[in-house]
Chains A and B, each alone.
Chain A
């Protein structure tokens, strides 16, 4: 209301940083991904299928994400406690995750280690979607991109801390016990900070008074049409298992008449197909094609998160001015250009420049994409849509390394070690597909032009006919 009364919507930076402490806890994954394959290998000496088993265990977190995060996200939308609807998930999930995480290095046998890993995956999946949905719940739509940049900044701080903890403590204590415990302490401290400083109900009440009760939802005229569409579709089916399946938030994406949300998620899936492959195979490309050492290759890869963090806040700020979809598309064009150039470049300084460009454009894409998803979420379903966002990104994390690996294997005979250069055409193709999907996304902005609104109204009206 107030926003409509002329008051400029401003981001509360301090509060957003405090909310970000919740997201910082998810950086435990960085240490887990570095150390867990080694811990698993202690239990699997000289077994020919050890690598396969390690691969299966390491992909469990993505499988858990696909299966559980949309559910817990949607469940948190309906949760009502005096601690709010998201923080209770942190209050249960973080201690449970820390408990299993710190005990992992002391597992006496493989069975107990696998049980602890599954408990950890479950606990992390339990609060992942709610912790990410906490910021958009407590931030007006207009300034969410900037808010998301700060959350990602906190995530970046967590990731760097996690790597530093690994660098300093894993050599002294190769078991990982000290590093895992220190990470656990940080996670618990973050939980306590969030619990003490973030009062969901109080902040929601304050923002409702200041900006109106719909400060966190779509305020465009299209909202009404879409709500009617979803409600009509949900009522079509009789109660029962079929209804539950068809009314599932993910299935509903396909049933909706206006498919911006679906196209947005397909775009997300496509660009994660590209970036996951780059992350997985870049070291092999650098060592086998460029002829640099594995250490130099990992240093090059480290540039990506650093550039991402450095450009996160500017990426959020410019999208508020020029529109989220436009910035994502510009980001895609820049990342496509840098990927294309990487096919031909072997000069080290130029390579560094291109990777900086890659990281910066990645922040333009990634920072704004989830804010579009939140904007596209129907009222009261931010948690569910956050879960669906992770479903699509986790699916690509599972599929892409396998597909890319298969793609390179096909060219093994023909190209030998040079086959890894195909990484970039592979990534280019998926990024181009993502761009095509992005052009089909017609909503996702806080404000829309009259022409856009009219065009979307026609979509709903034609569908009704």
Chain B
């Protein structure tokens, strides 16, 4: 029984460590440099995002020390009001998975200085390594939990017999 317990525990440890070792984080960054937000011209991008991908936005105004406004971001027509002025950098995170084509429109207005501002929008995608890892860990946790409960019950039965 003791041998079985140790073997089960050791196997669980090895399994979790191996799962961790083989599940890496995969992602890529799409840089769109020199997206000029001049006047009220919106900056539009369209790309497809799978159900297993997530997105986050980061904005940084480059070469600019001026006041500027990002009025809104539209994701598939759903407006996200920004109302941000004097932007030097801002991160917006949208982590809910989208399973359809994503149209992003950024309405950016330059400040009174009239200087063209280079907006830098970085879209970060995450593939589902996170999801795979989560499911794996959840299964491992459930497995270890079941083993633990079994060990507790088995031990109690041994106690009762003796």
The interface of chain A, by Cβ under 8 A from chain B, is: 38-39, 42, 81-83, 88, 91-92, 95-96, 98-99, 102-103, 105-106, 169, 171-178, 180-182, 184-185, 188-189, 191-192, 195-196
Contact = CB atoms under 8 A, between A and B. Distances in A.
B152 interface: yes
Contact of B130 (A82, A88, A178, A189): A178
A178 B6 CA distance: 29
Nearest to B145: A95
A88 B154 CA distance: 13
B48 interface: no
Given A82-B158, A88-B152, A181 B54 contact: no
Contacts of A103: 134, 138
Contact of A95 (B19, B126, B131, B141): B141
B95 interface: yes
Contacts of A178: 25, 126, 129-130, 133
A24 to B, nearest CB: 16
Nearest to B138: A102
Contacts of B13: 189, 192
Contacts of A81: 152, 155-156, 159
Among A171, A173, A178, the one with the most B-chain Cβ atoms within 10 Å of its Cβ is A173
B9 A196 contact: yes
Given A173-B54, A182-B20, A96 B145 contact: yes
9 contacts: A96-B141, A172-B124, A172-B126, A173-B27, A174-B56, A175-B95, A178-B133, A185-B137, A192-B144
A181 B33 CA distance: 33
Among B6, B19, B148, B155, the one with the most A-chain Cβ atoms within 10 Å of its Cβ is B148
A55 B66 CA distance: 36
A102 B9 contact: no
B88 interface: no
Given A172-B25, A174-B124, A181-B130, A92 B137 contact: no
List 6 A-B pairs, minimum CB-CB distance, nearest first: A177-B130, A95-B145, A91-B148, A98-B141, A181-B133, A175-B95
Nearest to B55: A174
A222 B152 CA distance: 38
A188 B16 contact: yes
Contacts of B140: 185, 188
A184 B137 contact: yes
Given A42-B96, A172-B25, 7 more contacts: A81-B159, A82-B159, A99-B141, A99-B142, A176-B95, A181-B133, A181-B136
Nearest to B5: A195
Contacts of B133: 177-178, 181-182
Contacts of B142: 95, 99
Contacts of B54: 173-175
A204 B94 CA distance: 52
Contact of A175 (B126, B136, B137): B126
B134 A98 contact: no
B104 interface: no
A102 B131 CA distance: 9
Contacts of A192: 9, 12-13, 144
A223 B56 CA distance: 61
A169 B134 contact: no
B155 A83 contact: yes
Contacts of A102: 134, 137-138, 141
Nearest to A187: B141
Given A96-B145, A184-B141, A185-B16, A173 B134 contact: no
Contact of B144 (A83, A174, A177, A191): A191
B159 A98 contact: no
Contacts of B9: 192, 195-196
A38 B137 CA distance: 22
A95 B134 contact: no
B95 A174 contact: yes
Contacts of A92: 145, 148-149, 152
B151 interface: yes
A83 B134 CA distance: 29
A106 B140 CA distance: 17
Given A82-B158, A173-B126, A106 B134 contact: yes
B30 interface: no
A189 B13 CA distance: 6
Among B27, B141, B148, the one with the most A-chain Cβ atoms within 10 Å of its Cβ is B141
B148 A105 contact: no
A177 B126 CA distance: 10
A199 to B, nearest CB: 11
Nearest to B29: A172
A380 to B, nearest CB: 20
Contacts of A105: 95, 130, 134
Interface in B70-125: 93-96, 124
A94 to B, nearest CB: 8
B139 to A, nearest CB: 9
A42 B138 CA distance: 23
A91 B152 contact: yes
B4 interface: no
A177 B27 contact: no
Contacts of B159: 81-82
A82 B140 CA distance: 24
Nearest to A183: B137
A91 B160 CA distance: 21
